[in-house]
Chains A and B, each alone.
Chain A
Amino acid sequence: MTFEEINRKAKSEWEALQRGVSVLIGTATCGQAAGALDVVDSFHQELRRRGAEVPTIKVGCTGLCYADPFVTISKPGSLRVAYGNVTPDSVPRLVEGYVVGDDPCLELALGTVEGGDGEAIYVPELPRFERERRIILSRCGYIDPENINHYIANGGYGGLAKALKMSPEGIIGELRRSGLRGRGGAGFPTHLKWEQCCKAESTPKYVICNADEGDPGAFMDRVVLESDPHQVVEGMIIAGYATGAEQGYVYVRAEYPLAIERIRIALKQANEVGILGDNVLGSGFRFDIEIAAGAGAFVSGEATALVAAMEGRRSEPRLKPPHLAEAGLWDKPTLLNNVKTFAYVPLIIEQGGDWFASIGTEGSKGTAMFTLAGKVVNSGLAEVPMGTTLRELVYDIGGGIVGDKEFKAVQIGGPSGGCLSETLLDIPIDYDSLKQAGSMMGSGGMIVMDEDNCMVDAARFFLDFSTKESCGKCTMCRLGTLQMLHILEDITAGRGKIEDLDALLTLAEDVKMGSLCGLGRTAPNPVLTTLRYFRDEYEAHILEKRCPARVCPELTVYYILPDKCDRGCEHCVLTCPTEAIKGEKGQVKVIDQEKCSKCGTCLEVCPPEYNAVVKLSPVSSLPSSESPATEAWK
């Protein structure tokens, strides 16, 4: 079939769907975790009960994860309405109100959905969309990721059809004009990689999509693969054509079963219509893609380590050069890009490199995709033009800090990135500004921290992660990070000395210098940035044995305020897992500090009208009548 024929067929299916009412339910992993599949079942039941023949479509994620389960009711000639936090209980009301009737149930609605037909979808009532610029996310949550025709009818594979009429040099030239840099984190210019691989003489060549998204707190790649997998497939085919490869692999974490399933379906459908296979869209070019499931190693995200894993070896990085473009998989020329990098390619080919370069800043073109998580109101995904400030992301898109707490830091780039303080909120998001601030773009995980988070503990957390995930090949990464971790553990336990801070700085530099790959070279970043921007917290832990955020257990005690304790209530006594709280009915309750496991249950269960349980730090601030027990915590 020619592309025109495929396109015509897809469009007629899509248009037929648009002529009737349809219910779109977000069922990416985030939606499912929030109970979306129960909502799907309820819709099925309710529609069947009413004899209404309305299709329910399991779409991906719109990025508004905080509002999951997310439902859109699409109705020809009427508003398309989005509903957030839908529960099975609210389904009968939605079906009666808007699917069958004409009442859009505004009390349950988030807003209307605009866009589609080639334009990115958005919800005009939500101010965040004024800041966003959706390219990769444009179809996410709007099309059925398991139906190739939905993708094609909304502009999909048009870039490939155009690319097949261009020369490889023409395609690479378009990428050069676009200024696209790798979205895996390091920001290497994409066209250079492609060019190197194109020029390599050895054959066969390979194209690998790196979907080994391992940063804790980052899930952009997962959402893209679960919501609109074909754009990645399309980008990979164009890459194969431009570099002369005939075989592609998607290396995806085994922890993402739904993403694997949706890529599998996408590949099958692309094969069936002749978009993959021996004769891609009748062009004579041959390309196939297989899935390789990763087995859970953070270091596999590093290009040479990923190749080692694909070859069935321990996933250890090797020295570069030779670069993968010269000697990659099975020592053959290999092009490896991140999920998002491939996803940009079809649109760059279709709309031109200049179009892409018109978005963003001088050195960083296009959009950046972030996951927002932590103490931010609107957790989820956002896609913004490069150059957007952190403040716009955290406050305008993220909706600010949960519970009116005070902002403390934003952590970008996962274990390789850094914690940036309030004073840096106005820096623009681009590769170079973030690097200058001591952080990095990374893969795009962004975690917001508030006054209740301890920065020393955060640094310890990230280092603990890096230590566990270090492959062990380089001594400084294997043992240097461990030594740094031990120092941080001492500090958070109140055993730190002020000279430890200098030791940390020295070790940090040594680990960076003495490590082969990005894991070791960036592992000290969380420590370096917290030392740079939050040194006062380190000093409080060391000099005053005080954890300002009252997080570190060894420096914190729970205390029941005698004047606030109701005396009659026994919530804390009955729920304390270690039976550490004493006090007869009618008496003030007292915590036996020696038995207390610092689990925080008493604080959680103390009724809000009393709020009698508080956390204190340092331990010595415990009122003196209870001080003997504090001996145990010194």
Chain B
Amino acid sequence: MTEEEQARQALGEILGRYKKDRKNLLPLLQEVQTTLGYLPGKALQEIADFLEMSDIEVWGVATFYNQFRFAPLGKYHTVVCMGTACHLAGGRLILDALERELGIKVGETAEDGNFSLERVACIGCCMLAPVVVIKGKIHPKMTPFKVEEALMPYRQSTEDASSSREDRKSRT
């Protein structure tokens, strides 16, 4: 099955579990995003058809909320907290350092699909400010200098993966 067929099947399963009621729009969007990682345009279209709403209305709702994404995230999704405590402790410098290190701007996913970078308003760990979350793991009390170090393990694993791929290629 191609990736697209898999996604369509997963979407069908999710839709099968909901009633055709527009109050289910947000739960539907949330579940589809959890399953597919983001909200592809085709999925939004199908949700609209299912709820008998216009596409534009579904897009209007989906784009209103910060939670929804319309492009896939990187393998190592990196979140910078820009809450008040983190800001006062130098959150902007951490964001700058991450943009520099990863070579992407906030909101972007790197071309190789490894890293994506996002800023959030507050993750509620103010006593550990400034905080960066990489693939769900919290890195407390960051400094610009510590950014490179924090990224290192993830970079190594992607390098290992790509080098082993190349090994395999060269063997065949």
Interface string of B37-78 (1 = CB under 8 A from A): 000000000000000000000001100111110000000000
Residues from chain A with Cβ under 8 Å of B113 in the complex: none
Minimum CB–CB distance for A47 against chain B, Å = 26
Residues from chain A with Cβ under 8 Å of B24 in the complex: 312
Q: Is the CB of B68 within 8 A of A374?
A: no
Residues from chain A with Cβ under 8 Å of B10 in the complex: none
Minimum CB–CB distance for A407 against chain B, Å = 13
Residues from chain B with Cβ under 8 Å of A461 in the complex: 84, 87
| A36-77 CB contacts (< 8 Å) to partner B | 65-66, 68
Minimum CB–CB distance for A584 against chain B, Å = 23
Residue of A nearest to B82 (CB): A216
Residue of B nearest to A449 (CB): B88
- Stretch of A117-125, A271-279, A295-303, A348-356 contacting B (4+ beta carbons < 8 Å): A295-303
Does B159 interact with chain A (Cβ within 8 Å)? Answer: no
Q: Is the CB of A312 within 8 A of B65?
A: no
Does B150 interact with chain A (Cβ within 8 Å)? Answer: no
- Which of these, B22, B96, B145, contacts A312 with CB under 8 Å? B22
Q: Is the CB of B30 within 8 A of A30?
A: no
Does B138 interact with chain A (Cβ within 8 Å)? Answer: yes
Residues from chain A with Cβ under 8 Å of B65 in the complex: 295-297, 315
A465–B24 alpha-carbon span in the complex (Å): 29
- Stretch of B1-9, B103-111, B123-131, B161-169 contacting A (4+ beta carbons < 8 Å): B123-131
Does A467 interact with chain B (Cβ within 8 Å)? Answer: no
Q: Is the CB of A373 within 8 A of B93?
A: no
A294–B68 alpha-carbon span in the complex (Å): 11
A465–B144 alpha-carbon span in the complex (Å): 23
- Which of these, B26, B84, B97, B140, contacts A599 with CB under 8 Å? B97
Interface string of B114-156 (1 = CB under 8 A from A): 0000001111111111010000001010011100000000000
Minimum CB–CB distance for A608 against chain B, Å = 14
Q: Is the CB of B88 within 8 A of A577?
A: no
Minimum CB–CB distance for A339 against chain B, Å = 14
Q: Is the CB of A298 within 8 A of B121?
A: yes
Q: Is the CB of A373 within 8 A of B126?
A: yes
Residues from chain B with Cβ under 8 Å of A33 in the complex: 125, 128, 131, 138, 140
Interface string of A463-487 (1 = CB under 8 A from B): 0010001010000000000000000
Interface string of B89-103 (1 = CB under 8 A from A): 010010011001100
Interface string of A361-384 (1 = CB under 8 A from B): 000000000010111000110000
| A92-107 CB contacts (< 8 Å) to partner B | none
- Which of these, A68, A254, A371, A600, contacts B67 with CB under 8 Å? A254
Does B23 interact with chain A (Cβ within 8 Å)? Answer: yes
Q: Is the CB of B26 within 8 A of A312?
A: yes
Q: Is the CB of A604 within 8 A of B143?
A: yes
A582–B127 alpha-carbon span in the complex (Å): 37
Q: Is the CB of B30 within 8 A of A295?
A: yes
- Which of these, B26, B85, B100, B145, contacts A373 with CB under 8 Å? B85
A601–B87 alpha-carbon span in the complex (Å): 17
Residues from chain B with Cβ under 8 Å of A449 in the complex: 88
Does A190 interact with chain B (Cβ within 8 Å)? Answer: no
Interface residues on A, range: 35 or more
Minimum CB–CB distance for A210 against chain B, Å = 16
Residues from chain A with Cβ under 8 Å of B66 in the complex: 295-297
Q: A254-B30, A295-B26, A315-B65 are in contact. Are A445 and B84 (CB under 8 A)?
A: yes
Residue of B nearest to A471 (CB): B64
Q: Is the CB of A379 within 8 A of B88?
A: no
Does A310 interact with chain B (Cβ within 8 Å)? Answer: yes
A292–B24 alpha-carbon span in the complex (Å): 10
Does B25 interact with chain A (Cβ within 8 Å)? Answer: yes
Q: Is the CB of A222 within 8 A of B67?
A: no
Q: Is the CB of B22 within 8 A of A66?
A: no
A425–B143 alpha-carbon span in the complex (Å): 31
Q: Is the CB of B68 within 8 A of A414?
A: no
Q: Is the CB of B126 within 8 A of A374?
A: yes
Residues from chain A with Cβ under 8 Å of B127 in the complex: 30, 34, 65-66, 68, 373, 379-380
Q: A414-B84, A577-B100 are in contact. Are A373 and B129 (CB under 8 A)?
A: yes
Residues from chain A with Cβ under 8 Å of B143 in the complex: 600-601, 604
A406–B29 alpha-carbon span in the complex (Å): 48
A68–B128 alpha-carbon span in the complex (Å): 10
| A558-612 CB contacts (< 8 Å) to partner B | 575, 577, 597, 599-601, 604-605
Minimum CB–CB distance for A260 against chain B, Å = 11
Q: Which of A217, A371, A447, A461 has the most CB of B within 10 A?
A: A217
Does B27 interact with chain A (Cβ within 8 Å)? Answer: yes
Q: Is the CB of B85 within 8 A of A255?
A: no
Q: Is the CB of A600 within 8 A of B85?
A: no
- Which of these, A29, A214, A297, A414, contacts B64 with CB under 8 Å? A297
A471–B23 alpha-carbon span in the complex (Å): 20
Q: Is the CB of A216 within 8 A of B83?
A: yes
Does A531 interact with chain B (Cβ within 8 Å)? Answer: no
Q: A34-B128, A216-B84, A458-B88 are in contact. Are A293 and B27 (CB under 8 A)?
A: yes
Interface string of A432-472 (1 = CB under 8 A from B): 00000000000001010100010000100110010001010
A597–B123 alpha-carbon span in the complex (Å): 27
- Which of these, B26, B61, B85, B144, contacts A601 with CB under 8 Å? B144
- Which of these, B68, B97, B138, B140, contacts A295 with CB under 8 Å? B68
Minimum CB–CB distance for A479 against chain B, Å = 18
Residues from chain B with Cβ under 8 Å of A453 in the complex: 88
A371–B30 alpha-carbon span in the complex (Å): 29
Residues from chain B with Cβ under 8 Å of A380 in the complex: 127
Q: Is the CB of B144 within 8 A of A295?
A: no
Q: Is the CB of B84 within 8 A of A374?
A: yes
28 contacts between A and B (CB under 8 A): A29-B125, A30-B124, A34-B127, A34-B128, A216-B87, A216-B122, A219-B124, A255-B123, A293-B30, A295-B26, A295-B29, A295-B30, A309-B26, A310-B23, A312-B22, A312-B61, A314-B61, A371-B126, A373-B127, A374-B85, A374-B88, A380-B127, A597-B100, A599-B97, A599-B144, A601-B145, A604-B143, A604-B145
Q: What are the 10 closest A-B residue pairs judged by CB atoms, nearest first?
A: A373-B126, A379-B127, A296-B66, A216-B122, A312-B25, A295-B65, A216-B83, A219-B124, A217-B84, A296-B67
Residues of A within 8 A of B (CB): 29-30, 33-34, 65-66, 68, 214-219, 222, 254-256, 292-293, 295-298, 309-315, 371, 373-375, 379-380, 411, 414, 445, 447, 449, 453, 458, 461-462, 465, 469, 471, 575, 577, 597, 599-601, 604-605
- Having A293-B27, A314-B64, A374-B85, one finds 6 other A-B pairs with CB under 8 Å, namely A217-B85, A222-B124, A295-B65, A312-B26, A375-B88, A461-B87
